[in-house]
Amino acid sequence: MPASSSPKPAGAPLTGRVPRLLLVPALLGFGFLVLPLFGLLARTPWSTLGAQLFSTGVRDALLLSLATASAATVVSLVLGVPLAWLLARTEFPGRSLVRALVTVPLVLPPVVGGVALLMVWGRNGLLGRYAAEWTGYGLPFTPAGVVAAQVFVAMPFLVMSVEGALRGMDRRYEEAAATLGANRWTVFRRVTLPMVAPGILAGAVLCWSRALGEFGATIMFAGNYPGRTQTMPLAVYLEMQRSPEAAVVLSLVLLAVSVLILVVLRDHWLGAR
Amino acid sequence: MTAPVPVVDAHLVVHHPGFTVETRFQVASGHVLALLGPNGAGKSTVLRALAGLLPAQGHLRVDGVDLLSVPAERRPVGFVFQDFLLFPHLTVVENVAFGPRCQGMPARQARRLALDLLTDMGVAEYARARPRTLSGGQQQRVALARALATRPRLLLLDEPMAALDADTRMSVRAMLRCRLTAFSGATVLVTHDPLDAMVLADRVLVLEDGVSVQEGTPGDVARRPRTDYVARLVGVNLYRGRAAGTRVQLAGPHGSAVALTVASPHDGEVFAAFPPHAVALYRERPHGSPRNTWLLTVDGVERFGPHVRVRLSGAVEVNADITAAALADLSLRPGDRVWAAVKATEVECYPV
């Protein structure tokens, strides 16, 4: 096929064999990423799958995971979108420091996050002691604690995604709204928010999936009580010690959810182009 | 005779790093002021300062009230942006109703007002469409309707033709002419196209490098340009010299003095201008009526509309427009020597 007949020149001019030094590691890398997924599928006890899925342990863990991940996403949206707006749209001293601090949980080992949360919200924590004193309740080792741990690790994903969308938006639309008499809140509500909605959606999906998979901070801060704070990842870990088959089933559920998220995001990304 | 009451009285100073824009102008009720100038002259800066999108010093009185400290959303100003900036997530009618809604008008009433305006502009049939499905000319009408929906006293148009293709420009220009005449407030429009300024504006303010260099009616600016930029824009030959009676001594390009005879007497520093079509070219030295004649060298010949433009240099630099037939008779080629003649009565002479 002549190269000139192709409308896009990408890849056309350079022909010939792919260098082996690139091809071999590329294929190895691909295999390394994909093989475990096949392993999971190969070892799935398909005959007893239904029964395993609907056992109370699995069901409780799954429902708790879905509920806490969703709650964590809502909390992250309510707190994270305004935070992203502040970082993207306003000038204040120390803004870059604030942004750096917001991204710390992205790189922090989640277990450390769990310890840090305990130092603040634990019975003797900085704030936790007053919370316990005044209300008699505490966050640690409760479903709300699970949500708190998930928000801590997942919200930065949402903030980063939304801030990127805000920075990528053509700000002149906001100026146009201002010349039409819209104050800053109206501009945000009726112009900014709808125009960055795809970015917010992408951020929320990332945030939700990160919350769903959260392990380290959760087990440290909320413990591992079945039916109360035992989410899917914790259940997988625990089941692996008792019956690997059950762990495989739980993992399969999480894999299915991940694939579903990928499909949702891919549609979003394609739609944005 | 009383001058129309100015709706807008502005003296704006806008500081950019390394660049300051300063302008002073008034616009009367129902009048249109065109800010004309090259790219980067500061025209859009002035417009943004008028809208409150840029901080400025000086004063901006609209109907006698100073607005410089009033934020953009509370100024009685409508803005039509160069690429319209219609909200992509709202329908056409929602775009137009946006302003009235922000001013607190009930939704139903705002919608009716928007539909009325869209009907006025002849685009009511697209009310439920998304803006991006409309053509450039239709978007321009929607953008104008949206800006007018807030009943502004000052309407701002930033390069209203720039985003349109050539075919649409003519009809949009006519539409704008009609709308702006009907608009009771003041209009300021920014353009780098002298045709827009001539057709749409009552007065023209020329900005160069952040400074106003000329203000006047479009005809005045076209006949009596005061800078090389304006002269090139409106296509006239412009010279500067010292007048004594009807004789003007021009400073030639190489320091040589060239005399120019004009019809009306002046004294002191003057501009002298004449259009290219006032220049006649001869192979032999012409005789007779009082003319300015120079022996010049042909630098270039190019087609210019129905005419041919001949660029000449020598004691003075002159552009001459002649017919294709005249060109054939003269058989001019670059490097040829030719006599150029201009009648004294064709030369506009005016003080600096």
Per-residue model confidence (pLDDT) at position A186: 95
The domain locations on chain B are 6-230, 235-351
- Average pLDDT, rounded, for chain A: 88
Going by pLDDT thresholds of 50, 70 and 90, the confidence category of residue A4 is very low
Average confidence (pLDDT) over B203-215:
91
d(CA B187, CA B153): 8
Sheet holding B257-274, edge to edge: B237-251, B257-274, B348-351
Going by pLDDT thresholds of 50, 70 and 90, the confidence category of residue A14 is low
d(CA A56, CA A60): 6
Average confidence (pLDDT) over B83-109:
95
Average confidence (pLDDT) over B3-20:
84
Average confidence (pLDDT) over B175-192:
90
% of chain A with per-residue pLDDT over 90: 60
d(CA A112, CA A98): 20
Closest CA of chain B from A154, distance in Å:
29
**Radius of gyration in angstroms for the set of CA atoms belonging to chain A, rounded to a whole number:** 23
Could you tell me if B117 and B96 are in contact, meaning their C-beta atoms sit under 8 angstroms apart? yes
Range of A73-82, B188-197, B311-320 with top mean pLDDT: A73-82
CA atoms in the 13 A half-sphere facing the CB of B64: 1
Sorted by sequence, the CB contacts under 8 Å of residue B89 that are 6+ apart come out as A194, A195, A197
d(CA A251, CA A236): 7
Handedness of CA B332, B333, B339, B344 (dihedral sign): positive
For residue B55, the Cα-to-chain-centroid distance in whole angstroms is: 25
- From B87, which residue of chain A is nearest by alpha-carbon distance? A173
Per-residue model confidence (pLDDT) at position A268: 62
Count of beta carbons in the 10 Å neighbourhood of residue A177: 25
pLDDT value at A8 more than 60: no
Count of beta carbons in the 10 Å neighbourhood of residue A239: 21
DSSP string, A42-56: HT--GGGHHHHHTSH
Out of A172, A181, A197, closest to residue B73 by CB: A181
Among all chains, which residue has been given the structure tokens 């203000």?
B215
Cα angle at B282 between B277 and B287, to 5 degrees? Answer: 105
pLDDT value at A3 more than 60: no
pLDDT value at A60 more than 90: no
Sheet holding B154-158, edge to edge: B65-66, B57-62, B6-16, B19-28, B211-216, B203-208, B32-36, B186-191, B154-158, B77-80
d(CA A118, CA A164): 31
Among all chains, which residue has been given the structure tokens 């427009």?
B321
Check A182 against B102: CB less than 8 A apart. yes
Q: Which of A222-226, B4-8, B45-49, B79-83 has the lowest mean pLDDT?
A: B4-8
Question: Residue A174's closest CA among A148, A192, A199?
Answer: A192
CATH number of the structural domain B235-351: 2.40.50.100
Strands B211-216 and B203-208: antiparallel
Q: Which of A2-16, A177-191, B4-18 has the lowest mean pLDDT?
A: A2-16
Check B98 against A190: CB less than 8 A apart. yes
Question: Residue A218's closest CA among A203, A235, A201?
Answer: A235
Strands (E), B152-216: 154-158, 186-191, 203-208, 211-216
Count of beta carbons in the 10 Å neighbourhood of residue A230: 23
Count of beta carbons in the 10 Å neighbourhood of residue B106: 10
Q: Per CB distance under 8 Å, which residues of B are interface residues toward A?
A: 51-53, 71-75, 77-79, 81, 85, 87-89, 98-99, 102-103, 146-147, 149-150
Per-residue model confidence (pLDDT) at position A245: 83
Helix (H, G, I), strand (E, B) or coil at A155: helix
- From A185, which residue of chain B is nearest by alpha-carbon distance? B102
Sorted by sequence, the CB contacts under 8 Å of residue B163 that are 6+ apart come out as B82, B83, B84, B136, B140
Per-residue model confidence (pLDDT) at position B251: 73
Q: Is A124 exposed, middle or buried (0-12, 13-18, 19+ CB in 10 A)?
A: exposed
d(CA B43, CA B82): 12
Side chain identity at residue A15, one-letter code: T
Q: How many CB pairs under 8 A join A and B?
A: 59
Picking from B50, B73, B139, B158 by the largest number of A CB atoms within 10 A of its own CB, the best residue to mutate is B73
Q: For B341-352, what is each residue's pLDDT tens digit?
A: 998 888 989 988
Average confidence (pLDDT) over B10-14:
94
Q: For A163-207, what is each residue's pLDDT tens digit?
A: 999 999 999 999 999 999 999 999 999 999 999 999 999 899 989
Q: For B125-141, what is each residue's pLDDT tens digit?
A: 999 999 999 998 899 99
Torsion angle of C-alpha atoms B77, B80, B82, B84, degrees rounded to 10: 130
Q: For B248-282, what is each residue's pLDDT tens digit?
A: 888 766 666 788 888 888 888 899 999 998 998 98
Per-residue model confidence (pLDDT) at position B62: 93
Among all chains, which residue has been given the structure tokens 């922000």?
B102
Per-residue model confidence (pLDDT) at position B28: 92
Check B102 against A173: CB less than 8 A apart. no
Element (H, E) at B44: helix B43-51
Average confidence (pLDDT) over A16-24:
87
Sorted by sequence, the CB contacts under 8 Å of residue A85 that are 6+ apart come out as A162, A166, A188, A192
The domain locations on chain A are 56-272
Q: Is A180 on the interface with B (CB under 8 A)?
A: yes
Give B-chain residues touching A185 at CB under 8 angstroms: none
Sorted by sequence, the CB contacts under 8 Å of residue B234 that are 6+ apart come out as B194, B221, B222, B225
% of chain A with per-residue pLDDT over 70: 92
Could you tell me if B64 and B6 are in contact, meaning their C-beta atoms sit under 8 angstroms apart? no
Per-residue model confidence (pLDDT) at position A57: 78
Strands B57-62 and B65-66: antiparallel
d(CA B98, CA B150): 9
Going by pLDDT thresholds of 50, 70 and 90, the confidence category of residue B1 is very low
pLDDT value at A56 more than 80: no
- From B156, which residue of chain A is nearest by alpha-carbon distance? A179
Q: For B70-85, what is each residue's pLDDT tens digit?
A: 999 999 999 999 999 9
Check B98 against A178: CB less than 8 A apart. no
Could you tell me if B140 and B132 are in contact, meaning their C-beta atoms sit under 8 angstroms apart? no
Could you tell me if A73 and A238 are in contact, meaning their C-beta atoms sit under 8 angstroms apart? no
What Å distances lie between residue B245 and B262, B263, B265, B269, CA to CA? 9, 9, 4, 12
Could you tell me if B14 and B49 are in contact, meaning their C-beta atoms sit under 8 angstroms apart? yes
Check A173 against B74: CB less than 8 A apart. no
Element (H, E) at A236: helix A232-242
Could you tell me if B216 and B256 are in contact, meaning their C-beta atoms sit under 8 angstroms apart? no
Closest CA of chain B from A175, distance in Å:
7
- Average pLDDT, rounded, for chain B: 89
Give pTM, 2 decimals: 0.81
Interface predicted TM-score (ipTM) over 0.90: no
Task: Tell me which of B9 and B169 has the higher pLDDT.
Answer: B9
d(CA A119, CA B13): 55
% of chain B with per-residue pLDDT over 70: 96
Check A178 against B88: CB less than 8 A apart. no
For domain A56-272, give the fold.
MetI-like fold (1.10.3720)
Task: Tell me which of B155 and A58 has the higher pLDDT.
Answer: B155
Sorted by sequence, the CB contacts under 8 Å of residue B230 that are 6+ apart come out as B36, B206, B213, B214, B221, B238
Side chain identity at residue A53, one-letter code: L
Q: For A202-250, what is each residue's pLDDT tens digit?
A: 899 989 999 999 999 999 999 999 889 999 999 999 888 888 888 888 8
d(CA B340, CA B314): 11
Could you tell me if B262 and B347 are in contact, meaning their C-beta atoms sit under 8 angstroms apart? yes
Per-residue model confidence (pLDDT) at position B332: 85
Phi (first) and psi of residue B128, to 5 degrees:
-90, 0
Average confidence (pLDDT) over A85-113:
93
For residue B304, the Cα-to-chain-centroid distance in whole angstroms is: 21
Picking from A91, A172, A175, A180 by the largest number of B CB atoms within 10 A of its own CB, the best residue to mutate is A180
Per-residue model confidence (pLDDT) at position B253: 61
Q: Return the structure tokens found at A62.
A: 């799954």
d(CA B78, CA B72): 10
Strands B257-274 and B279-282: unpaired
For domain B6-230, give the fold.
Rossmann fold (3.40.50)
